[in-house]
Chains A and B, each alone.
Chain A
Amino acid sequence: MMVRRLPPTMVLALAALYSLFPVVWLLIASTKDTGDLYGTSPFAITPDALPQFITNVERLFARDDGIYLRWLGNTLLYAAGGALGATLIAGLAGYALAWFPFRGRSTVFSVILGGVMVPPAVLAVPLFLMFGKVGAANTVWAVLLPSLVSPMGVYLARTFAESAVPADLLEAARLDGAGEVGIFFRIVVRLMSPGLTTVFLFQLVTIWNNYLLPLIMLKDSDLFPVTMGLATWQAGILQDSSLNVLVIIGSLVSTVPLIVVFASLQRFWRADLAAGSVK
């Protein structure tokens, strides 16, 4: 019985190693300075790893008057702020589409569903031109506002609202005289929380991965999200090799909060919603 477990476990272990490999490399590489990066073997840990790590972190936050911290803050705004807003808006919309019959409801839903197939890349350039016309291109809003729109989020929210909210509970609440807004925020949100968490995580990753939009919109490096900042540094390595260390340590620091968020919320993530198979 024990022997049967070994081969499948090995396969999973291999996959886990593959997944962790770049992250482990990143951890080790971030304890080195430029000389050691090129000089020592990539998985070798130098004797002064810890002090060098601390030095690297200091250099990271000192560079260009602490622009990295600004980038982190921007990312918090765009990704977390955007995802939170998108989740609230999509949650409201999904709940409405699930529980409020009105004329034209299915048409509206079909249109939104069509939006799920549209890749963000198609929207980026016209959005840039539109924002440009009102002089808002190089601003926070240019990245934040489009991030609040998540057709996939509405689809997920509606699917979940349909199954998670019992009809009789709604009836009872309404008979008790509760207002619709109150019902939503006090009852429905709680019932829908795994679904809403899924929407939040999905939109968080979507915004994080939307490199094209900020790339097109933003000119001031003050407004860059951390992904753009790091990519800019990476492109400058040929001129300034000290940037290589910063890109590495910067990448490490930027992934930590995201990994923490993921690890803690992962349990609530209803990934089968995305597969369209919720009963």
Chain B
Amino acid sequence: MTARTARYGWAFLAPFLCLFALFFVAPIGYAGWQSLHQVRRSGLGFGGSAEVVFTGLDNYGAVLQDSAFRSALLRVVVFALIQIPVMLAVATLLAVILDSGLVWLKRLFRITIVLPYGVPAVVAALMWTNLYAPQLSPLNDLLRSDQPNLLSERWIMVAIGNVATWEFMGYFMLVLVTTLQAVPRSISEAAQVDGAGPLRIALFVKLPLLRPSLIMAITFSIIGALQLFNEPAVLRSASTAISADFTPNMYAFATTFNGAQPYLGAAQAVALAAITFALSIVFMRGTRRWSEA
């Protein structure tokens, strides 16, 4: 039985493992290898030979000393620090309200609020780009002529943050609501019998129950925020405030393709992934006490 089990176990795993090895592990390994090498050209670059040389951590040194990379990194970290709490606070509020049973048309609201998650990020960014554009924007009408130009340097981070919040607020609300609905009714009923109103129940019963889900949500949001690419890349077509190296990911892309320096670009991508990983771990460790609900 055990030998047969093992054989079938591996057999069922095999399709995934093959693809995983080829298209997941191998690229990571390749990127890692690349980041440790550079191309040295001899001659004047027009006919001289190009040699791939092992340079150890030189690329990483260059990346970390690059002020443009550091600015881009700072930018996404600040973005994360602001956008994530705002989005998740709203999502939590919505989830608690939906779960409280105090509202009419629950199903309708649920579907409409989750709807933006089904819109692909690029299309969402395109829609908002059009909404932000001064000529087309309905916001112009609403706010009169001295409304802020959301595509300007001053407001562009708000503009990007708004798109990201719009896209994912509903998804996180759904995750939280589903978690809440798995909680036995008896708990909140007991609190009600004790005389607690809906607000107290929300604050002291439901919020603590949501802690583990919130931790996971924040962790995934941190990863997403640090890896920011889609929204600024699309908004770039309408805003001069976004440079090619606006976020670390955009910078790695530009370095590899426009700058034709794939090895340095690989180091940038790996450095970003490592920093993301480190920050996620720090966050999860730091909140471990709370996630054991």
Contacts and interface: CB of A to CB of B under 8 A. Distances in A.
Contact of A275 (B124, B129, B178): B178
B149 interface: no
A117 B280 contact: yes
Interface string A262-279: 110010011110111101
B169 A15 contact: yes
Contact of A255 (B8, B111, B123, B273): B123
A121 B170 CA distance: 24
Contact of B126 (A118, A251, A274): A251
A102 B113 contact: no
A9 B122 CA distance: 31
Interface in B207-229: 212-213, 216-217, 223-224, 227, 229
Nearest to A279: B182
B212 A231 contact: no
Contacts of A121: 227, 229, 249, 252, 269, 272
Contact of B123 (A102, A118, A251, A276): A251
Given A41-B138, A121-B227, A127-B27, A271 B175 contact: yes
B200 to A, nearest CB: 14
A259 interface: yes
A259 B227 contact: no
Interface in A18-43: 18-20, 22-23, 25-26, 29, 37-38, 41-43
Contacts of B265: 125
Contacts of A187: none
Contacts of B224: 119
A200 interface: no
A147 B102 CA distance: 42
Contact of B17 (A19, A108, A272): A108
A164 interface: no
Contacts of A89: 15-16, 19
Contact of A234 (B198, B237, B253): B237
B270 to A, nearest CB: 7
A211 B121 contact: yes
A119 B27 contact: no
A8 B169 CA distance: 17
B230 interface: yes
Interface stretch (A49-57, A59-67, A92-100): A92-100
Contacts of B19: 89, 145, 148-149
A125 B269 contact: yes
Nearest to B130: A248
Interface stretch (B49-57, B91-99, B153-161): B91-99
Contacts of A37: 136
Contacts of A105: 9
B199 to A, nearest CB: 10
B290 interface: no
Contacts of B94: 11-12, 15
Contact of A102 (B9, B122, B270): B9
Given A115-B20, A151-B24, A209-B120, A266 B111 contact: yes
Interface string B1-30: 010011011111101110110111011101
Given A8-B103, A38-B135, A231-B234, 5 more contacts: A42-B137, A96-B13, A126-B31, A180-B12, A261-B118
26 contacts: A4-B102, A9-B103, A11-B94, A12-B98, A25-B127, A25-B131, A42-B138, A100-B6, A101-B6, A101-B9, A102-B9, A112-B20, A123-B28, A130-B26, A145-B19, A146-B23, A211-B229, A230-B126, A231-B122, A262-B118, A271-B174, A271-B177, A272-B213, A275-B213, A275-B217, A277-B212
Interface of A: 4-5, 8-9, 11-13, 15-16, 18-20, 22-23, 25-26, 29, 37-38, 41-43, 89-90, 92-93, 95-97, 100-103, 105, 108, 112, 115, 117-119, 121-123, 125-127, 129-130, 145-146, 148-149, 151, 154, 180, 184, 205, 208-209, 211-212, 216, 227-228, 230-231, 234-235, 237, 244, 247-248, 251, 254-255, 258-259, 261-263, 266, 269-272, 274-277, 279
Interface of B: 2, 5-6, 8-13, 15-17, 19-20, 22-24, 26-28, 30-31, 34, 90, 93-94, 97-98, 100, 102-105, 108-109, 111-124, 126-131, 135-138, 141, 166, 169-171, 174-179, 181-182, 198, 212-213, 216-217, 223-224, 227, 229-230, 233-234, 237-238, 249, 252-253, 256-257, 262, 265-266, 269-270, 272-273, 276-277, 280
